[in-house]
């Protein structure tokens, strides 16, 4: 049931977002790595051609096509590829090939001191890459893009990338992120705060780790795929009971592909928090798949059911 707009919620003086790395520019080198599951080689090749079509030079991590069960090679090799790409001064952005599972297994193998010493750069990925977004924000203090990945269908389809997904990604890389508009208002209002969150399953899995979600003073993005409503209930309840959602400034809910009807659970558990909640944003596992800048200062406007950015600090590029 859609709510009507009304009260303005949120923090009185929203905290500033964390630094936004420079955007890649035509002629820059970007790296594609696989910190999670093994990508399909054909999809990966098509996704690389899409990035090259933007004028970028693309280098591939040494172990991207390795396979170890459901992982893209060993934990050590996946971590090494990611760290090498981040620490390479010639690389201006790091794209994760796909999601799946495995990013959390690399977190304890990364040399965070070495990565902090490297120049900040853009990280792009979604789904399982939520673990990296959370860790990079905590350890490196940089904003990063929750968006489509080169070996996923919205970018690597044989007929070409899905147009709206591609438009959002290119605008994001250009430092001009467009508004992301949903279709449902669960709790009306407005909020301006840094954006955090990502895939619900990963956020629940990070509870009790150094990279656990802290929603205080932040707008929280949530989305998932292939999760029945009772499992969404379980994961949200875990986050609530762990205090991870305490003090949230608002919520933006993305796609819930093959999750049945999650909205009764989402409304039951989130509406009592008394902050703006908008839903139906094309972010996550659906099509189209818009890009969201985690760590940047965002704004919820329930009147337009949209998430926009009020950073002014995103560099223009492509």
Model confidence pLDDT, tens digit, residues 102-135: 999 999 999 999 999 999 999 999 999 999 999 9
Give buried/exposed letters for 264-295 (b at 16+ CB in 10 A, else e).
ebbbebbeebebbbbbbbbbbbbebbbbbbbb
Name the CATH superfamily housing domain 29-173.
Murein tetrapeptidase LD-carboxypeptidase, N-terminal domain (3.40.50.10740)
Q: Give catalytic status of residue 127 as yes or no.
A: yes
Catalytic (active site) residue 223: yes
DSSP 193: E
Instruction: Give the torsion sign (CA, 132, 134, 139, 140).
Output: positive
**pLDDT tens digits, 76-103:** 999 999 999 999 999 999 999 999 999 9
* Chain centroid, CA 317 distance in Å: 20
- Min mean pLDDT across 41-45, 272-276, 308-312 is at 308-312
Residue 252, pLDDT > 60, answer yes
pTM of the model: 0.92
CATH architecture of the domain formed by 180-309: 3-Layer(bba) Sandwich (3.50)
Which residue is catalytic, options 127, 144, 153, 201?
127
Chain centre distance of CA 4: 28
CB 86 within 8 A of CB 54: no
Domain boundaries, the chain: 29-173, 180-309
91: enclosing H helix or E strand: strand 91-96
Q: What is the mean pLDDT of the chain?
A: 92
101, 229, 231, 298 from 224: Cα distances, Å: 14, 11, 11, 21
Rounded to 10 degrees, the C-alpha dihedral 189/170/32/205 comes to 10
The three-point CA angle 289-185-286 to 5° equals: 15
Would you state the pLDDT for residue 177? 81
Task: Return the biggest CA–CA distance within the chain.
Answer: 53
- pLDDT at 314 exceeding the cut of 80: no
CB distance 191 to 205 below 8 Å: no
Annotated catalytic residue, options 162, 190, 223, 227: 223
């Amino acid at each position: 049931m859609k709510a009507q707009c009304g009260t303005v919620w949120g923090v009185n003086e929203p905290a500033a977002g964390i630094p936004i790395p420079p955007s890649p520019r035509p002629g820059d080198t970007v790296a594609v790595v696989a910190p999670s599951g093994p990508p399909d080689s054909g999809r990966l090749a098509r996704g690389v051609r899409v990035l090259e079509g933007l004028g970028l030079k693309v280098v591939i991590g040494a172990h991207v096509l390795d396979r170890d069960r459901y992982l893209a090679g060993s934990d050590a090799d996946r971590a090494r590829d990611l760290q090498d790409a981040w620490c390479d001064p010639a690389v201006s952005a790091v794209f994760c090939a796909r999601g799946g599972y495995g990013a959390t297994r690399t977190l304890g193998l990364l040399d965070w001191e070495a990565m902090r010493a490297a120049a900040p750069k853009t990280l792009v990925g979604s789904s399982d890459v939520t673990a990296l977004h959370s860790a990079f924000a905590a350890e490196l203090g940089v904003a990063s893009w929750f968006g489509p990945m080169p070996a996923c269908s919205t970018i690597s389809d044989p007929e070409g990338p899905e147009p709206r997904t591609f438009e959002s990604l290119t605008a994001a890389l250009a430092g001009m992120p467009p508004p992301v508009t949903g279709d449902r208002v669960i709790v009306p209002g407005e909020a301006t705060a840094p954006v955090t969150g990502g895939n619900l399953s990963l956020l629940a899995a990070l509870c009790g780790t150094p990279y656990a979600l802290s929603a205080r003073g932040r707008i929280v993005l949530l989305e998932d795929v292939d999760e029945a409503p009772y499992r969404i209930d379980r994961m949200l309840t875990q986050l609530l009971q762990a205090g991870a959602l305490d003090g949230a400034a608002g919520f933006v809910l993305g796609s819930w592909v093959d999750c049945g009807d999650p909205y009764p659970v989402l409304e039951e558990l989130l509406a009592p928090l008394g902050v703006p909640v908008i839903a139906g944003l094309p972010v996550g596992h659906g099509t189209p798949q818009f890009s969201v800048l985690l760590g940047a200062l965002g704004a919820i406007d329930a009147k337009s059911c949209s998430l926009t950015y009020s950073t002014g600090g995103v560099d223009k590029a492509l």
